[in-house]
A and B are shown apart, each in its own frame.
Chain A
Amino acid sequence: MADILRLRLVTPERLLLDEEVDEVTAPGTVGEFGVFPDHATFLSSLQPGRLSYKQNGQARSLAVNDGFAEVVDNLMTVLCTEAAYANEIDAAQAQEAVREAEAALGNLSPTDTGFEDAQNTLRLAQVRLDVASNG
């Protein structure tokens, strides 16, 4: 049986990707993980970060917001609230978002209620900037 991994990426707004890939690297909440064909059945939550995959030897990256990844029978489904390729992100806007998120985080102490959210917002903004500028 040919062992091909299929990556399906869905957000509430669209089905972004449904293709065969060689390998995937995803930002899990307890650490980045890689998925190759014939991976064990697996469910993980994701944090804002860079999701990259290789297709015919070519690597592509997306900035994803928090969500989940499930691997069953060589089908990896990624559910995330937002995802964008480098060419969909405006670097200047991303830079601005980083500044805003840093400022917002600066006003909070780790015990405040919105602290975790602010941290996630900053992380997402940084990843978007990184993906936009480094591809």
Chain B
Amino acid sequence: MATLKEIRKRVSSVQNIQQITKAMKMVSAARLRRAQEAALAARPYAEKLEAVLQNLAAQGGELAHPFLTERAENNTTLIVMTSDRGLCGGFNSSLIREAEAFMRQRSEQKVSLILVGRRAYDHFKRRDVTIAEEHINLYGRLSADLAHDIGRRVGEQFLSGETDSFYVLYAKFRSALVQVPTLDKILPIASTPQTEDQSTLDYLYEPAPQTLLASLLERYIDMLIYRAMLESVASEHGARMTAMDNATNNAVEMIDRLTLDMNRARQAGITRELLEIVATGESLKG
């Protein structure tokens, strides 16, 4: 049985841990709220861009673009979005597991990775995989600029034939408790979602529809990447909040148990001392 002093030390160390996890949970909750606001703020842009693209596709008739054309997938690029920091439960490991499964399925193909977040980079740098780019130590400051940057490079690679398809793997935010690793195909763009009855508007185009389509598609790719980034950041904070909440609860439980042990040890000490006193008294009498 541990001595009273040892138990006291443990209680105070668990109390310190509890303070830290509680603080981390609150920080994550605040960041999660901000991340959700950012995701909400991005929605009008995304919706409008999709609507414009649909309109253009609906009436352009013979619009074609390499981005819309399927071809044999020999070279594939996968973006994996993880966090830079740990302590967020199974958030990163489940994404990395999905990424490895993706590569196993495509063992015939050449898969190159674009890694966002240090967790994925630390995992894959020691393994036999092709890392095309890594973006680490951003700590959640993922900007539309970065999305544009990645989008442009990938678009160029796709057009030059260096890569035939392009996927993004990220954690989709459902709630603070649930984040779902999700694989989305970005290139080639699966036919844009069509609404059933379209009131065809007679547009004037400037410049020609074909040129417009090209730049719209580029923006669309950027937007898809940006949206995945926002989801990923929100998921990370959600996962961390939940993990830290659990840790705090575990700490409380542990403190309760240790306090009980401590009181028992103290009581045992008192009982022993009493017994000793009584025994000594008895023997003196004898």
Contact = CB atoms under 8 A, between A and B. Distances in A.
A74 B56 CA distance: 19
Contacts of A79: 45, 48-49, 52, 219
Nearest to A44: B206
B52 A68 contact: yes
Contacts of A52: none
Interface string B213-238: 00110010011001000000000000
A43 B48 contact: no
Interface residues of B, number: 29
Contacts of A66: 215
Interface string B173-200: 0000000000000000000000000000
Interface stretch (A6-14, A54-62, A91-99, A124-132): A6-14
Q: Which of A11, A30, A67, A68 has the most CB of B within 10 A?
A: A68
Interface residues on A, range: 20 to 34
A41 B202 contact: yes
* Dominant secondary structure of chain B at its interface with chain A: helix
A43 B41 CA distance: 23
A11 B204 CA distance: 23
A13 B144 contact: yes
B44 A10 contact: yes
Contacts of A44: 205-207, 212
A70 B48 CA distance: 10
Contacts of A1: none
26 contacts: A10-B45, A11-B144, A12-B42, A12-B45, A12-B222, A12-B223, A41-B201, A41-B204, A43-B52, A43-B212, A44-B206, A45-B206, A45-B207, A45-B211, A45-B215, A67-B219, A68-B52, A68-B212, A68-B216, A70-B48, A72-B201, A79-B45, A79-B48, A79-B49, A79-B52, A82-B144
